[in-house]
């Protein structure tokens, strides 16, 4: 919205700064962070007053883990509303609203947040750790992803990008036209990423902290692929106008950072599915828009670990009757092996940074 001030540069020269993506991205991050800190206390008080506390699973469900997490009982959830508010306000202020990528990213993010809110509401309403059914949640995710994929393929500006398949370490797209199979790929990336971030959201500050470097990475990548010189130098497919996704990603990063202020151990609020589904979906959408959806397997390595630990645990128990891990997702396994909650969170943050650096290296190893 504030981009229009650049048109007044003849009246006041410094207003030309509003033309620059880097300037607007930095201010988008700062504003989102400030919005979160400003609204955080009021939102937490409101959630507490409405008794929207996170239901904690009992000993019959999680055995000895119940003792470690008993002190979390009553901590308000649905804090993802704070992230969504800050992200939306900052994006509307600092992004160019005539850019189709902004709406392609923001719309599915808000819809996934709404789906997560429905799940959280059911949990607090019935005072149980189970919200809407997994089938309902999956169908909702598929419908949202399908709508995004269809829009991506129907827009002339993004149709070619949507149909191609970029693979890390390769200079050119391995498939230039996947046809309508592109929709299946979009659904796979969005559903798997949103669920993986959701699974990661089990300890204070874990999901938001792990999302930060991934969001910053894809924001920087969006800026690079939007410019011919940098895209050609890195042998990346150029995506014109994708620079606004850098501003959008900066707003998301600022929101996550601000949320960490209240979500660090001991957490005053949990993001719930409202935040985790939205963050995961937002990361996936930006990754697809810049043509690097598969790179998420590397950059989002922590999220992959979390999701795989659940899949392997369930498969092993059903096939052999034995469990591979003390508990899944894998962050709980380390808790039960004696790591403190803070140690698990910080070490997973470190792993996420390492995975992000590896992803950065793939841009040159081609």
DSSP type of residue 179: T
- Tell whether 323 is covered by a domain: no
Dist CA 162 CA 159 (whole Å): 5
Helix 206-225 vs helix 272-289: angle between axes, to the nearest 10 degrees? 20
**pTM for the model:** 0.94
Residue 84 near residue 110 (C-beta atoms within 8 A): yes
> Is residue 339 one of the residues assigned to a domain?
no
Could you tell me the residue range of the domain that residue 233 belongs to? 2-300
Q: Is residue 333 part of a domain?
A: no
Does residue 59 lie within any of the structural domains? yes
| Residue 202 falls inside a structural domain | yes
pLDDT at 30: 97
The structural domain count of the chain equals: 1
Are the C-beta atoms of 265 and 341 separated by less than 8 Å? yes
Tens-digit pLDDT string for the chain (366 aa): 676 666 666 676 677 777 889 999 999 999 999 999 999 999 999 988 887 776 666 555 556 666 666 677 778 989 999 999 999 999 999 999 999 999 999 999 999 999 999 999 888 887 776 778 889 999 999 999 999 999 999 998 888 888 888 888 888 778 888 888 899 999 999 999 999 999 999 899 999 999 999 999 999 999 999 999 999 988 888 999 999 999 999 999 999 999 999 999 899 999 999 999 999 999 999 999 999 999 999 999 999 999 999 999 999 999 998 999 988 899 999 998 989 999 999 999 999 999 999 999 998 887
- Assess if residue 129 is contained within a domain: yes
Whether 168 is in a domain gets the answer yes
Q: Are 197 and 348 in contact (CB under 8 A)?
A: no
Q: Is residue 159 part of a domain?
A: yes
């Amino acid at each position: 919205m504030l981009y229009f001030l650049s048109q007044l540069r003849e009246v006041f020269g410094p207003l030309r700064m509003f033309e620059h993506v880097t300037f607007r991205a930095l201010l988008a991050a700062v504003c989102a962070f400030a919005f979160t800190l400003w609204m955080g206390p009021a939102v937490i008080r409101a959630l507490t007053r409405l008794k929207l506390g996170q239901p904690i699973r009992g000993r019959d469900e999680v055995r000895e883990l119940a003792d470690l997490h008993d002190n979390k009982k009553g901590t308000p959830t649905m804090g993802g509303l704070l992230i969504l508010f800050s992200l939306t306000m900052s994006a509307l202020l600092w992004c160019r609203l005539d850019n189709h990528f902004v709406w392609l990213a923001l719309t599915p993010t808000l819809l996934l947040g709404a789906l997560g809110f429905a799940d959280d509401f059911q949990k607090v309403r019935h005072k149980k750790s189970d919200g809407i059914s997994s089938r309902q949640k999956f169908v909702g995710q598929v419908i949202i992803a399908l709508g995004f994929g269809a829009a991506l393929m129907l827009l002339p500006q993004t149709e070619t990008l949507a149909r191609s398949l970029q693979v890390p370490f390769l200079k050119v797209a391995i498939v230039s036209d996947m046809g309508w199979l592109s929709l299946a790929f979009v659904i796979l990336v969005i559903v798997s990423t949103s669920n993986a971030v959701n699974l990661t959201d089990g300890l204070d500050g874990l999901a938001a902290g792990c999302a930060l470097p991934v969001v910053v990475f894809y924001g920087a990548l969006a800026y690079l692929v939007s410019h011919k010189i940098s895209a050609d130098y890195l042998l990346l497919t150029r995506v014109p106008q994708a620079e606004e996704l850098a501003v959008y990603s900066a707003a998301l990063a600022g929101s996550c950072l601000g949320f960490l202020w209240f979500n660090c151990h001991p957490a005053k609020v949990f993001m719930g599915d409202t935040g985790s589904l939205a963050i995961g979906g937002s990361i996936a959408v930006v990754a697809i828009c810049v043509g690097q959806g598969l790179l998420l397997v590397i950059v989002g390595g922590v999220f992959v670990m979390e999701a795989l630990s659940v899949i392997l645990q369930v498969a092993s128990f059903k096939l052999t009757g034995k469990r591979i891990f003390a508990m899944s997702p894998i962050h709980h396994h380390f808790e039960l092996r004696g790591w403190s909650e803070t140690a698990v969170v910080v070490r997973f943050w470190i792993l996420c940074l390492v995975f992000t650096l590896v992803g950065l290296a793939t841009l040159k190893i081609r």
